[in-house]
Every structure is written in C-alpha cells, then in structure tokens.
Amino acid sequence: MTMLPVLPILIPLLAAAACLLSWRSVLWQRVASTIGAVGLLGSAIALLITADRHDIVTVQIGSWSAPFGITLVADRFSAIMVLLAGTMGLLVCLFSLFEATRRDVHRGFFPLLLILLAGVCGAFLTGDLFNLYVWFEVLLIASFVLLGLVGGRANIEGAVKYVALNLVGSMLFLTATGVLYGVTKTLNMADLHGALREVQAQNPTLVLTLAATFAVAFGLKAALFPLFFWLPASYHVPPAAVCAVFAALLTKVGVYALVRVFTLVFPDAEPVLWVILILAAITMVSGVLGAVTQYEFKRILAWHSISQVGYIVAGVGLLAVPDPEVQALGLAAAVVFLVHHGTIKPALFLVAGLVKWREGTTELRQLGGLAGATPWLAALFLLAALSLAGLPPSSGFWAKLAVLRALVVAQEWWVLAAALAAGLLTLMSMMKIWNEAFWKDRPLAEKVQGLEGDPALPKPHAIPKAFAAPVVALIVLVTAIGLWPQPLLGYADRAAAQLLTPSAYVEAVGVPPREINTTPDDVSSVILDVEEPQP
Amino acid sequence: MFLFLAITVGVLFTCGLYLMMRRSLWKLILGLILLSHGANLAVFVSAGLTRSPAPLVALGDKAPPDGAADPLPQALVLTAIVIGFAVVSFTAVLVRRATHAVSSDDPDRMRSTDT
C-alpha cells in the first residue's frame, strides 16, 4: 500500500512505453492505452480512498529520508486532483479511440496522451519544487506535440504562441527555484515551510519577491488575467479530445501549484495574495467578455476556461483574509470548483467534437437545427451548458454557491459583484451557442458562401453510439454531482482543513522540525551568506 | 566573482527577453536559449561559489568532510540543461514548420488563431 502514490505516474508511463513498442499496430496501441487509462483510474481511486481514510500518504523514493531524497506526497487535495486526471484520462482515451485517425495514431497520439497524464499526476503528487518543475516540463512537452500533431496552419500557429509563453513561465519558475534554494538550502516543500519562516523573520522582502515570482510563473500556467493570452490563441485548434484534456488538466496544474505553494511554502505572503484575489476578479470578467464576442464553438469554450480559472483562483486569493474560517471556505470552494470545471469543460469540448464530427464545422454561423436533428445531443449540451452557467441542479450550482458563500463571508463585495456579472454573461454566451447551433434553422448552403471556412455545407455524418458514450458518462457524472453534492462538498471541506494545517503535511513527510529564529538579523548576511555548508 | 555572475545572469535575461520581443521567430529561439542559460546559471550559483572539497564520502565515513561543496545545484542544473536543450530543439523544429506554413517568420502574420 505504501507504493500507492507511485502508481498513477508509473502506470501511464508503462502504457506509453507499450504503445511505443507497438508503434506499427494501431489496434495494439489502442488496447494498451485503454488498459493504461483504466489502470490509472483504478490507482487514483485507491489513492483517494487511502488518502481520505489514513491521512497523508508519502513515499520516499529509494528510501532516502525526506529533505534529501525525492518525496511523493498524496494528501486529500492531491488525491482528488489525481482522480480528476484519471477520470478525464480514461474518458478522453475512449473518445479518441474513434476521433483519433490512423494518421494521428501513427504520429504517436496515444503515447503522448499517456505521457501527458503521467506528467500531470507527477505534478500533483511531487513533494519538492524542482520535481514540480520537471513534471511541468514533461507535461508541457507532451502538450506541445499534441497541439501541433495535425499539421494544419492553425495548429502550428497556436502551438508557437503556446510554446513561447509557457517556456517563459517555466524559466521564471526555474530561476525562482534557484534563488529559493540559494536562501534556504532545500527544495522539499515540507522543509521549505520551516526554512522560509526563518528567512522571513530576517528578510521579509526577499520572501515576498520570491512569492510574487512564483505567483507570476504559476499564474501564467493557470491563465490568470494579464497572462492568459496564450490560451485563447491555442486551445481551440486541436481535435476535441485534446482540447478536453487540456481544459481539464493543464490550467488546473497551475492552480494546483498556486494552492500548494501558497498554503505550504508562503503561508504569510498576504500582499501577493491580495493581488491574486484582485486579478482573479478581473480574470472572471475579462474571460467571459472574450467569450461573448466569439462566434466559434470551441473559441467560446476556450475563453470560458479563463473566466472559470478566475473563480477558482478567487478561492485561493481568499487566503489573504486573516480569518481561518474564510480561508477554509475559500479553499474548499476552490476544490469544488476545480472538480466541477475539470469535468464540465471537457464535456462541453467533447460535445463540440461530436458536433464537428456530424457537421464538419464548429463555426456557429454555419450550424443550425441540431436540436431537431439530434435531440439527445442537444440535451447533453443543454445539461452541460446550464451546469457551466451555474443553474441548479448541477455541479456548477454548488461550485458557484461555494465560491459566492466564501466571498460573502469574507465581505469581498467587489469580487462578488464580478463573480455574479461573469455568471450572467456565461449564461448569455451559452445561450448564444444554444440558439445558433441547436435552435435556429439549418442555414442554406448559398447563404454561408461568403463566410470563412468551407463554403459549401458538408453532409452530416451520423454519430456512432459508442463515440458518444464517454460524453454521456461525463454528463451523467456532472448531473450526479449536482443532485448528490454532499460527498464532494464534505471531501472539499476536509481537504481545505488539511491544506490549512501544514504542520500535518510537514510531519507526514518527516522532515526534522526547525527552530525558528525570529530575531531580525543583518539583511545582507541572508542574501550573501549562502556559502555555509549544509548541516 | 559572485557579483560578476549575478550581473551575467541579469544580462542574459535582459538580452533573452529583448530578443523574444522582436518580430522574428528565429530571434525568439535565440532569446529562449539565452533565457534558459540565464536560468541555469542562476540555479548553478545559487549554492554560492567556494573553493571547497568535493562532496565525496570516504570509505567508512558516514558524511562528506566539513565544508564540502553542495552537489545538489549541480545535479539540478544538469537536469535543467537537458530539459532546456530538449525544449529549444523542439521549438526550433516547430518554428521551422511555422515559418514554412506561413512563409514568413514574423509572428505578427500568424493571426489566424488570434481573436
């Protein structure tokens, strides 16, 4: 049982290796990746149950004790994120069995997907900052290739922007990690918890600067307000399955890192957290405003991802309020919203994929009449769209309620107003998709001649039932959460309480406790006196 | 020496960011290379620069001698260099394909996915 946190990383990597060994056989690659995805989900469920029952699960790789070796840690927050990755991994894998063409498979679609999943799980489970950087790079490289896999002009252009901005973020992260190591001599996050207290007592400005650098690096990955422009430029170009897994997991890794770093490593960086809270409010509104102006199914969804990240990060930003009740509510809301958005956004992207399969386009002005032609698809979209907008009974209602409740208790009225306005606009842009794609009549071929894209309307394809099964499963899951939210809400409360007691995390990882010397020292000695050997 | 390396890191970052903001994808790659070197150098000097004995444990001892050099930044920077090379070579291939697809290396002409 103690090796449980290793499995979600190991299983997808082994499955990816199996896929690479059977490079020529499309069938065997499909079988191997499905088995890998099932194994990942199974290990994620086992991990969640263990982490919830027996508190924090840790593994010291190679039995090197904590601050020196590589530590894998699964607390409740990590465990539910890994479960999200496992669920999405399996459903997207099943969806791609149909969507990924033979050419995509021959170009390595499945191994890349599995390596992406392994990287995401590694980032969720790692216990030290440098390994977090390494896992970030693993999942970034996999996502770069997935994005540029199909060689159209749009894909390549989207990939260039995505690659350039994400690499700048990685470099910032790496530099900040280097400076952090310079002042603390450790990169284990549990050890940093104590070590940075010492530095902070002597040089609070340095710690704030580091916290701000990490916030910028992770904010870029999470697509926070001024740093989100790579996302709408790239997220709508790949096939729907890739969009779904990106929307479910990639921004979430940035948010996860923000939560982890600001609860464990920089618990006292209040000024930075205030900035994060304000940026979260701006992110909510600017993301949804971007969505309102769009006329393409997947672009609207991509812009919405930004807006929703704002809601999640608002929960994290509430850590700035010194009231522990507000902090617990905020973090719990962030956890609920992460799960909600991690299931609903991929569902919407997969619906877009089905529409694309049927009609050959996702440009809203060329679509129409889908409600009459495929009522079940319209029903799936409607359930998902209402959940995204936060109408009961759906997971979105509870997630938004949790965020709004935390904001009310914190009395952050401006952020609350931004959240409500963004909610209304979300509903509006979802109604736009509904009206354009599903409700209005199918446009005549000669009327859409002047529009960009294919001039003639292609003939609709029938959607195979098995193709739609993963989407139905996702929507059922989302609706089930909406009708029966108590397990998730209770779990989120427990996860938030655990995040707010870092001492338990430090104890579970097993680093020796530090005696915190709070007498102010000469500032210069902290920065320059880095040549002391490690005891 | 510490000050000199600190300034070098700053210069690498400045030049890298400047090049990345030029309207040319090839300069973006050069900028990325400089940026990644700057970050690697920052990690490398983070342990401080000292003339200290190698961190080797003599036979029978349990710990390296007092004042041994800190080996961790070197291990970290080795990993970071490998990752940096991989990322830069991927970006070079991507940019080659992008300039081929758009027939220009000007990022301002790659607007079909912008909004």
State residue A24's pLDDT score: 83
Give me Rg for the CA atoms of chain A.
23
**B33 touches A: beta carbon within 8 Å:** no
**Phi then psi for A401, rounded to 5 degrees?**
-60, -40
Q: What is the pLDDT of residues A457-482, one digit of tens each?
A: 556 677 777 788 888 888 888 888 88
Mutate to test the interface with A, among B46, B62, B109 (most CBs of A within 10 A): B46
Instruction: Say which of B42, B44, B50 has its CB closest to residue A179.
Output: B42
**From 2.40.128.630, 1.10.287.3510, 3.30.1490.190, 3.40.50.1820, which CATH number describes the B1-50+71-105 domain?**
1.10.287.3510
Q: Is A522 left (phi over 0), alpha (psi -120 to 50) or beta?
A: beta
CA A289-A291-A295 angle, 5° bins: 130
State residue A59's pLDDT score: 86
Q: What is the DSSP string of A361-380?
A: --BGGG---HHHH-HHHHHH
State residue A522's pLDDT score: 45
Residue B99, CA distances (Å) to A161, A309, A325, B21, B110 in order: 13, 33, 54, 17, 9
Helix (H) or strand (E) holding A316: helix A297-317
For residues A484-500, average pLDDT: 89
User: Could you state, in order of their start, the residue ranges of all structural domains in chain B?
Assistant: 1-50+71-105
Residue bearing the bigger pLDDT, A455 or A102: A102
Q: Which residues of B touch A234 (CB under 8 A)?
A: 113
Q: How many CB atoms lie within 10 A of CB A323?
A: 13
Amino acid at A391: L
State residue A457's pLDDT score: 55
Residue A493, CA distances (Å) to A286, A309, A458, A502 in order: 29, 20, 50, 15
Q: Which residues of A touch B115 (CB under 8 A)?
A: 232-233, 290, 293-294, 299, 303
**A527 touches B: beta carbon within 8 Å:** no
Rounded to two decimals, the ipTM of the complex is 0.91
Q: Which residues of B touch A178 (CB under 8 A)?
A: 39, 42-44, 46, 73, 76
Q: Which residues of B touch A303 (CB under 8 A)?
A: 115
Instruction: Say which of B46, B68, B114 has its CB closest to residue A178.
Output: B46
Q: Which residues of A touch B62 (CB under 8 A)?
A: none
In a domain, A176, yes or no: no
Q: Residue written as tokens 């997907």?
A: A113
Confidence label for B100 from pLDDT (cuts 50, 70 and 90): confident
State residue A291's pLDDT score: 86
Q: Is B63 left (phi over 0), alpha (psi -120 to 50) or beta?
A: beta
Percent of chain A with pLDDT over 70: 92
B55, B43, B66: which is closest to A187 by C-alpha?
Answer: B43
State residue A120's pLDDT score: 94
A342, A377, A372, A376: which is closest to A356 by C-alpha?
Answer: A377
Q: What is the DSSP string of A50-79?
A: HHHHSS-EEEEGGG--TTTS-EEEE-HHHH
- Is the confidence at residue A64, as pLDDT, over 80? no
Residues A302, B26: Cα–Cα separation, whole Å: 28
Question: According to the 3-state scheme, what is the secondary structure of B32-95?
Answer: HHHHHHHHHHHHHHCCCCCCCCCCCCCCCCCCCCCCCCCCHHHHHHHHHHHHHHHHHHHHHHHH
In a domain, A313, yes or no: yes
A298, A336, A351, A310: which is closest to A472 by C-alpha?
Answer: A351
State residue A151's pLDDT score: 63
**A535 touches B: beta carbon within 8 Å:** no
**A234 touches B: beta carbon within 8 Å:** yes
**A304 touches B: beta carbon within 8 Å:** no
Residues A318, A327: Cα–Cα separation, whole Å: 6
Residue bearing the bigger pLDDT, A135 or A412: A135
Q: What is the pLDDT of residues B54-68, one digit of tens each?
A: 778 888 777 777 777
Interchain CB distance below 8 Å, B42 and A178: yes
- Considering only residues 81 to 110 of chain B, which have any Cβ-Cβ distance to chain A shorter than 8 Å? 83, 86-87, 90-91, 94-95, 97-98, 101-102, 107, 110
Residues A255, B53: Cα–Cα separation, whole Å: 42
**B60 touches A: beta carbon within 8 Å:** no
**A167 touches B: beta carbon within 8 Å:** yes
Range scoring the smallest mean pLDDT among A58-67, A105-114, A172-181, A283-292? A58-67
State residue A529's pLDDT score: 45
Nearest-CA distance from B84 to chain A in Å? Answer: 9
A342, A332, A341, A328: which is closest to A491 by C-alpha?
Answer: A332
Confidence label for B113 from pLDDT (cuts 50, 70 and 90): low
State residue A532's pLDDT score: 47
Residues A147, A159: Cα–Cα separation, whole Å: 6
Q: What is the pLDDT of residues A500-534, one digit of tens each?
A: 888 888 888 877 777 655 554 444 444 444 444 45
CB-based burial of residue A503 (10 Å sphere; 0-12 exposed, 13-18 middle, 19+ buried)? exposed
Interchain CB distance below 8 Å, B25 and A160: yes
Q: Which residues of A touch B113 (CB under 8 A)?
A: 154, 157-158, 161, 233-234, 236-237
Centroid of chain to Cα A366: 31
Tokens found for residue A247: 């929307």
Residue bearing the bigger pLDDT, B115 or A192: A192
Residues A422, A310: Cα–Cα separation, whole Å: 10
State residue A524's pLDDT score: 43
Q: What is the DSSP string of A256-287?
A: HHHHHIIIII-TT-HHHHHHHHHHHHHHHHHH
Residues A125, A532: Cα–Cα separation, whole Å: 31
Q: How many distinct structural domains can be found in chain A? A: 1
Chain A residue nearest residue B20, CA to CA:
A164
Q: DSSP label at B109?
A: G
**Phi then psi for A519, rounded to 5 degrees?**
-75, 125
Residues A222, A217: Cα–Cα separation, whole Å: 9
Interchain CB distance below 8 Å, B79 and A130: yes
Q: How many CA atoms lie within 13 A of A533 on its CB side?
A: 15
Supply the mean pLDDT for chain A: 84
B75, B100, B36, B5: which is closest to A153 by C-alpha?
Answer: B100
Which range marks the domain in which residue A427 is found? Answer: 270-443+464-502
- Is A324 within 8 Å of A500 (Cβ atoms)? yes
Q: Which residues of B touch A151 (CB under 8 A)?
A: 97, 101
Residues A447, A443: Cα–Cα separation, whole Å: 7
A185, A177, A194, A70: which is closest to B47 by C-alpha?
Answer: A185
- Considering only residues 251 to 290 of chain A, which have any Cβ-Cβ distance to chain B shorter than 8 Å? 290
Between chain A and chain B, the number of residue pairs with CB atoms below 8 A apart is 126
Instruction: Say which of A134, A153, A533 has its CB closest to residue B79.
Output: A134
Q: Which residues of A touch B23 (CB under 8 A)?
A: none
**A418 touches B: beta carbon within 8 Å:** no
For residues B100-104, average pLDDT: 80
Tokens found for residue B48: 């401080």
Q: DSSP label at A188?
A: B
Q: Residue written as tokens 């994290």?
A: A316
Residues A246, A478: Cα–Cα separation, whole Å: 18
Chain B residue nearest residue A159, CA to CA:
B94
Q: What is the pLDDT of residues A435-458, one digit of tens each?
A: 888 887 777 655 555 555 555 555
**B12 touches A: beta carbon within 8 Å:** no
State residue A528's pLDDT score: 45
Q: Which residues of A touch B39 (CB under 8 A)?
A: 171, 174-175, 178
Residues A398, A451: Cα–Cα separation, whole Å: 40
